[in-house]
Amino acid sequence: MEDYNIIQDKARRLEALINLCNNLRDNEKREPIPFNDFLYLASTQPEMVFRDVYQIFYDMIHYYIPEGKDDFDFDSEHVGFVDYDCSKLFVDNCDEPFFADRLFANRLMNLAKSFRSGSQTNRIYLFEGPPGSGKSTFLNNLLFKFEEYTKSITGNSFKTFWRLDVDKLGGYQHLDNTLNNIKANQSNNQYEFQSGKINYPEKILEFSCPNHDHPILQIPKSFRRKFLDELITDEVFKEKLFNERQYEWVFKDVPCSICSSIFKALLERLEDPIEIFNMISARGNYFNRQLGEGLSVFNPGDFVTDKPITKPDLQVLINELLKDDEVKYVFSYLAKTNNGILALMDIKENNVERLKNYHGIISDGVHKVELTEENIKTLFLGLVNPEDKVHYEKIESFRDRVITVKIPYILDFNMEVAIYKDKFGEKIESLFLPRVLDNFAKIIISSRLAKNSLALKNWILKPENYAKYLDKNMLLLKMELYTGKIPNWLSEEDIKKFDKKTRKAIINESDSEGFAGISGRRSLTVFNSFIQKFANNEKLITMDLVKQFFERNKQSFGDDIPQDFIDKLEDLYDYNVLQEVKEAIYDYNESIISRDIQNYLYAINFEIGETKKCEYTNDVIEITEDYLQNFEARILKPNSTVKNRKDLRAEIHREYIKSTLSIEIRVENRKIDDTSQFKNLFDKYTRNLKENALAPYIDNENFRRAIQDFNTPAFENYDDRMKRDINLLISNLKMKFKYSDIGAKQVSLYVLENNLVKKY
């Protein structure tokens, strides 16, 4: 008798196998549905049913990429530079993740939008980027997720599936004679007859349309508009269906030659057209890259072939059943990706010829297979290196048919860091002080950016104002903008000048960047060398070590890294960590600051000399010029002029009336301290107050020693006030800026020992 544990183990294996089989059946099952049932589905879920490959691609992109955030969404100045999270499309469950920066993500989303509108069909879409930019990884992941999406209920699409009723069509009365004739003349037959015997169905002959014809195309073109007007009750969708360009295919496209000839033969054989539609079903499309079904990828070394594909056994059965030799069941390999995706990996070798062939097919939408014509509606994608564009860019007819989407090296330091963490593990970040890993990535990215920016020069008219922490090419500023952030060290005047025209000009410059400099592959090699050298240090990796590494290896980078960039990066790092330490040690009273701001916002609505009770705080305010100026001085810098203060007052009053009071308070029912204007003023107020927060400690040697002794028994020897201040400093650095205990001590000592207060 078997051991009880062995029996249990067998039962578990059997249960696991049953569950696997059930999942496979549910995922892969594509039972045909009768045409009448398909029409019911079309009437109740038209948005899902009436989709071609371009619409499915658009839906797939939005299925994986959630709605993005536009930093200027409620501003007439926004340029559509949206923050999209592409991780579900390119990272999650992918063997080799692809990290899309904000610039590329916006290009991809804009391409998808053009597909939805129907404005960019009949094109070849080439993603252009230098070697090492991740093009192949991008395309592989895109196709993988497209295939995954089409297997879901949300991504389902339909093709025509024929179910010919053998009895109603008279059966196979002369099949034996037909077979004998084929065998006798096999040497003269252009299609090689594979089987010696055909196993034919007795009741139903079933086969799919090899061109993936949408079932609705089987309704004759001249009747479709009236038919769909009667079928669909959703008036909103019907308006789109009849008027929007994305749905033109529903009324213009015709079935493939195989389906057309079958329909014609059936119409001649059967008296009632309803009998024809009873022999038509809809079946879910099956997309499988490995089999070249719906998805196909050609590498440059793959041979070019255009040999017709036939099914002689099926051809015999169709001819015999329909008593008609005009139905030619022959198609090309292009039919297998019709209403699907065909992709070329690099435009070189055999893919050059393919590209030229596809150009002609796309222009006319027709491909000749022997004497018949195939209507081709495929989404053609490809990858191209800049140097390979010579194969087509001088051919004038290509200019209207090739759409190029730039996919350069990463230009967003956050994504560069994400790549390091993916390749070397998430824990790699814990080896660095905060900001330092970002700065390593910025040095790499500086090699990929254009050294001259007309857009920045037209915007920042006095770059010398930022000379303490901004490189002469202003690349540090551009890097922040490419992540969607406006640096807080910019002046109010320059921030105001950052209008729509300026933003658009800066974003447009990115189209020519990222094609030179340190490649993605080389970046990983450089980072690995750095980690091997410094990761075993007892202390966390500092900015000094990063600078030291690049200076010692200066010759290997040549002119890729701008001359003053690393020095200015260090200066900006010093400026930022100084602000962090100041904020960490500054113990401000939020309630007092909040009352000051609320009182001021209320007071500016009245004349000088009036005394009013604030509706927000119940404080009685004597409104004088001194009262207003004292508050404004805390918002502006100490050297601000009278004009600066009056301009600020007018601007704050205008925003208070136009937005804060009329919209956020009265319409959205927000409290004054929950409005955007209050939060902005609170940030500026506290930022200026904390400027002098470190002043009492600069020359205090005891304070420095106490930081060194933090978390040791010796720390208890210091007075209570100093211990309280240092506990506050370390605690805030950890909580607000993600430092560890060791990192907080390191950066605090770094600020004091390098006298950064004096530097800035």
Instruction: Report the distance separating Cα 210 and Cα 333, nearest Å.
Output: 10
SS3 468: coil
| 671's tokens | 């409290």
Spatial CB neighbours of 128, under 8 Å, sequence gap ≥ 6? 383, 384, 385, 386, 389, 404, 405, 406, 407
Asked whether 483 and 443 are in contact (CB, 8 A), the reply is no
pLDDT tens digits for 583-641? 898 877 889 899 999 999 999 999 999 999 999 999 999 998 888 987 887 788 656 78
Burial environment of residue 57 by CB neighbours within 10 A (0 to 12, 13 to 18, 19 or more): buried
pLDDT tens digits for 128-158? 999 999 999 999 999 999 999 999 999 999 9
Element (H, E) at 676: helix 676-689
pLDDT at 193 (0 to 100) = 40
pLDDT at 184 (0 to 100) = 45
Phi-psi region at 468: left, alpha or beta (left = phi > 0; alpha = psi -120 to 50): alpha
Instruction: Report the distance separating Cα 212 and Cα 286, nearest Å.
Output: 10
Instruction: Report the distance separating Cα 741 and Cα 197, nearest Å.
Output: 80
Give the residue carrying structure tokens 């939008």: 113
Instruction: Report the distance separating Cα 390 and Cα 300, nearest Å.
Output: 16
Asked whether 54 and 214 are in contact (CB, 8 A), the reply is no
CA 90 and chain centroid, separation: 8
Instruction: Report the distance separating Cα 565 and Cα 601, nearest Å.
Output: 42
Cα distances from 6 to residues 14, 17, 18, 270, 653, in angstroms, run 12, 17, 18, 63, 80
pLDDT at 759 (0 to 100) = 87
Cβ neighbours around 210 below 10 Å, total: 21
Taking the chain (760 residues) in consecutive chunks of 10 residues, what is each chunk's mean pLDDT?
60 61 54 94 95 96 91 61 95 96 95 83 90 95 97 94 92 61 43 47 88 96 95 94 94 94 92 93 95 94 86 89 86 93 94 87 82 89 93 79 94 97 94 97 97 96 94 96 92 90 94 95 96 85 96 90 95 95 86 93 95 95 87 76 89 95 94 95 85 79 93 90 90 95 95 90
Asked whether 167 and 178 are in contact (CB, 8 A), the reply is no
pLDDT tens digits for 462-501? 999 999 999 999 999 999 999 999 998 999 899 989 998 9
Q: pTM above 0.85?
A: no
Instruction: Report the distance separating Cα 667 and Cα 649, nearest Å.
Output: 24
What stretches of 390-485 adopt beta strand conformation (E)? 402-406
Instruction: Report the distance separating Cα 610 and Cα 601, nearest Å.
Output: 15
- Identify the bridge partners of residue 429 per DSSP, sorted by sequence position: none
SS3 210: coil
Asked whether 358 and 396 are in contact (CB, 8 A), the reply is no
| First CA to last CA distance, the chain | 85
Instruction: Report the distance separating Cα 254 and Cα 640, nearest Å.
Output: 72
Cβ neighbours around 638 below 10 Å, total: 8
Q: How many CA atoms lie within 13 A of 67 on its CB side?
A: 3
Cα-based angle 702, 708, 710 (whole degrees, multiple of 5): 100
- Identify the bridge partners of residue 127 per DSSP, sorted by sequence position: 383, 405
Burial environment of residue 478 by CB neighbours within 10 A (0 to 12, 13 to 18, 19 or more): buried
pLDDT at 637 (0 to 100) = 66
